[in-house]
Amino acid sequence: MKIQKLSIENRPKVYALLQRAFPGSSYEAVLLQKLHEHGKQLHEWVCIHTNKAIAYLAFSPAYHGKQLCGLHLAPMAVAPDFQKQGVGTELLNFALRQEAIKSQPLFVLGEPEYYRRFGFESCQEPLCPFDNGNAHFLSIRNSGDIDFTIGYEPEFMSVAIPAAMSAGKRRKR
């Protein structure tokens, strides 16, 4: 398994991985395609094994109004046949050590039990527009003392949101 920055050549492999990792939803794959098409700045890494993308993650800008205030971890995916083998853990630990990531406030909308292992903590501020009550919204290096709703790149809002997300339910890991 090799972890590397995502290249243009590996993008189709990652789009296919997102479809496999999130069956029944095209949200993540379409979101990433739109972010790439619109030239958005992402910090992204992929795990390649036998010439296939088996895991992927990206960090995109987080905003307070128009001001950058950190990075969002999304999407993150591991191929179903490689889940529960430490691949996602290895990829996320790798990413958290990278210079562009290690000093930034980070935000993630996900399963608290999973992300707490990496130092993420529940946060009440800022508010997440996708998580009523912030039950699944976590952060690292977030002062959390300013009341605002955190912003995402417009593509997060313009791609059709899956019913499970809009109902406040999280997918199983």
* Closest to 75 measured CA to CA, from 31, 121, 132, 19: 31
What is the domain range of residue 37?
Answer: 2-103+154-166
* Lowest-confidence segment of 108-112, 144-148, 154-158 by average pLDDT: 144-148
CATH number at residue 62: 3.40.630.30
Sign (positive or negative) of CA dihedral 154, 62, 60, 139:
negative
Mean pLDDT of 31-56: 97
* Closest to 106 measured CA to CA, from 59, 153, 46, 64: 59
pLDDT at 159: 73
User: For residue 165, is pLDDT > 80?
Assistant: no
* Closest to 74 measured CA to CA, from 38, 127, 23, 21: 21
Residue 121 domain flag: no
pLDDT at 1: 83
Domain count across the chain: 1
Residue 172 domain flag: no
Residue 60 domain flag: yes
Name every residue whose Cβ is closer than 8 Å to that of residue 157 and which is 6 or more positions away in sequence: 129
pLDDT at 136: 96
Q: Which residue has better confidence, 15 or 1?
A: 15
pLDDT at 158: 82
Task: Indicate the pLDDT class of residue 140, thresholds 50, 70 and 90.
Answer: very high
Residue 6 domain flag: yes
Which two tokens mark 80?
Answer: 């179903």
Which two tokens mark 28?
Answer: 């993540």
Residue 147 domain flag: no
* pTM for the model: 0.90
Residue 128 domain flag: no
Mean pLDDT of 51-74: 96
